Structure 1
């Protein structure tokens, strides 16, 4: 009897896990891509459309300024927000608006850097390859290859202990006092994070993207999108299967930290290739088949559907959270959506209203899987990563 119960429990967890991955990979990720593409197109249409360089400079400066300002005041916002939790409607409106703006201005930064590279350097395989290599030279010493991943490689959920804690820095320096030394360290951390590492990530993304554009059916946008999407999804699913093996190798190499770091960074880079291909494919499919003659209609449609669905699903933070994960510092597991949602909805409350870290963690003491999920939710500074 006990064996039958265990088998049923194991079968149930397997089914839920497969459905969980389906939601993350085939529902949430496309919605996030739609939000990015729609916003990007709308910025192309409205921000000085006839002056591409000026448009990109404005986009970049606005995005970086907003991001740094939010980083500086997010602790104040978190403290203020605790008073809004009793007014649920206001709390939802304020936090979701904040997540929406975070996504818009994060996209603005990426569009600015990407567009300026196109405007000043042009497009060629040599140029894209060299820029990609230079970007990797920058981020590898900072152990930041993991930060190249986007959904489905990571997710950030709207139910959070610190709802305004979105804009982080590489070294997580906080100016807790007014000493000159602390101020200098904080400013240096901001500059390294937002002026060096984020643009370096954009450079790498653009390099791989442009190489694929010039190699994979360059004259057939639709076919290029289909092949890119299929190859990206296929590679990502293969990586999911290989993930447990990579973790076992990582544990065995714990005494050889440099070799372990190389293995994990290589795995993270291959994951980035899969995600890049996936995003590029859906971008191209959208441009080829959804209002192909109207950038405005295509942008509005993708923007509204993307952000709207993500807000309903409780994953709108994923479009704009600036996180700096450290290669090899954290255990890597496939993203989990349903388990987080289940905890956020416990006690019959709707997930958008819940601070997941305040749930009854004692109820999960007998369930090892739930314990691990609770740790992930409580740590609001880290997104869920593969």
Structure 2
């Protein structure tokens, strides 16, 4: 659910402004109207099924189980990421890679939902949900993330699309970028900090803003509250993308703390829109998708969302993994959200055509052609840098 645009090309040679703008708009619509509803549908389904099946009469025990699943699961996938990356690759066995990678995504997605459900419900049990307490907790979480330059980790669809690319499929970045080859003890501490500190701060911020919206937006009218969240959320997300060129230009002229603060302010506005979209879609499913049979509704939502995302090649959008640093991109790209789907597909097609042209020229004029493997590597590297997913 997190991402970076570091290293991603702006456009392609020969692409005019109108064409690129059209593809950009289609990507945003795809993210908002297809990817985001599927991601929310999956998360709502797994979350609610855990409520139904795991100690439904004891919320504290149920949330503790989720915390254990989330923490151990995250640490497992962080620790064994290099092993998975080394052993599974389509060049060795394409079918095996596909099966293992998608199984990995399914398991990690389940871990991610539990990693959020546990702390969220523990806070609901142990703390007061009045607006004053929520405001304080949310503010503390925001300040802590801003101080660590980790605010961007609150990003989620519809502001992010994470594609299922081969290279780096199993990679999970940590806060301090310590690798297992450096020193194992430091790597473990880095993993624990990334999961328990950064990850839980993100949950605190999301929960606080979500419940504040519950309190303020038609609290006694579920239908109006749902529709209001959808309208408000998509309006803010649309506004964020409209002003993105201006914000990018502004950030490219700034440096240091001013640039970081402007980028963080922009992220906070997008976060408010994102949470409203999620809340609206979640409650919309509760109200209108088989409301008389919640269990069936959740199972259908889980299967449909998961299968559709896998077929579309963006099932990694379900995952909340890795830690990214605020404003790490050059110039104003720190305020550009990685919402790339059609653009990457068309880019790959252009690179394939370029490869054919170069091969043809090399035959006719004895020029050195760009090899297929080189072009494939360019595509993979581009997709990886775009996703340098969390």
Q: TM-score range by the shorter chain?
A: 0.7 to 0.9
Q: What aligned pairs does 1:169-248 form with structure 2 within 5 A after superposition?
A: 169-177=174-182, 182-248=183-249
- In structure 1, the partner of 2:162 is 156
Instruction: Decide whether aligned partners of structure 1 residues 361 and 127 sit closer, same or farther in structure 2, where only a CA change above 3 A counts.
Output: farther
Look up the SS of the partner of 2:80 in the other structure: helix
Distance 2:133 2:325 in 1: 28
Kept in 2, the 8 Å contact 1:139–1:145? The answer is yes
After TM superposition, the score normalised by the length of structure 1 is 0.85
Distance 1:162 1:95 in 2: 11
- In structure 2, the partner of 1:24 is 31
Kept in 1, the 8 Å contact 2:78–2:191? The answer is no
Distance 2:66 2:216 in 1: 29
Task: Return the offset for 1:191.
Answer: 2.3
Q: Which of 35, 38, 43 matches 2:45?
A: 38
Look up the SS of the partner of 2:232 in the other structure: helix
Task: Return the offset for 1:268.
Answer: 0.8
Look up the SS of the partner of 1:150 in the other structure: coil
- Residues 1:89 and 2:95 are matched in the alignment: yes
- In structure 1, the partner of 2:263 is 264
- Residues 1:379 and 2:378 are matched in the alignment: no
5+ residue gaps, structure 1, are 1-5, 349-357, 365-370
Kept in 1, the 8 Å contact 2:162–2:387? The answer is no
Distance 1:10 1:36 in 2: 37
Distance 2:139 2:347 in 1: 42
Task: Return the offset for 1:122.
Answer: 3.5
Task: Return the offset for 1:131.
Answer: 1.3
- In structure 2, the partner of 1:49 is 56
Instruction: Decide whether aligned partners of structure 1 residues 203 and 94 sit closer, same or farther in structure 2, where only a CA change above 3 A counts.
Output: same
- Residues 1:124 and 2:123 are matched in the alignment: no
Kept in 1, the 8 Å contact 2:59–2:121? The answer is yes
Q: CA RMSD in A?
A: 2.5
Task: Return the offset for 1:347.
Answer: 5.9
Kept in 1, the 8 Å contact 2:60–2:122? The answer is yes
- Residues 1:329 and 2:328 are matched in the alignment: yes
Distance 1:57 1:196 in 2: 17
Number of residue pairs the alignment of both structures matches: 355
Task: Return the offset for 1:359.
Answer: 6.9
Distance 1:20 1:280 in 2: 22
Kept in 1, the 8 Å contact 2:63–2:118? The answer is yes
After TM superposition, the score normalised by the length of structure 2 is 0.85
Task: Return the offset for 1:130.
Answer: 1.5
Distance 2:375 2:55 in 1: 55
Distance 2:235 2:166 in 1: 32
- In structure 2, the partner of 1:70 is 77
Instruction: Decide whether aligned partners of structure 1 residues 288 and 153 sit closer, same or farther in structure 2, where only a CA change above 3 A counts.
Output: same
Task: Return the offset for 1:309.
Answer: 1.1
Distance 2:110 2:298 in 1: 13
- Residues 1:104 and 2:105 are matched in the alignment: no
Which segment drifts farther, 217-226 or 229-238?
A: 217-226
Distance 2:147 2:27 in 1: 34
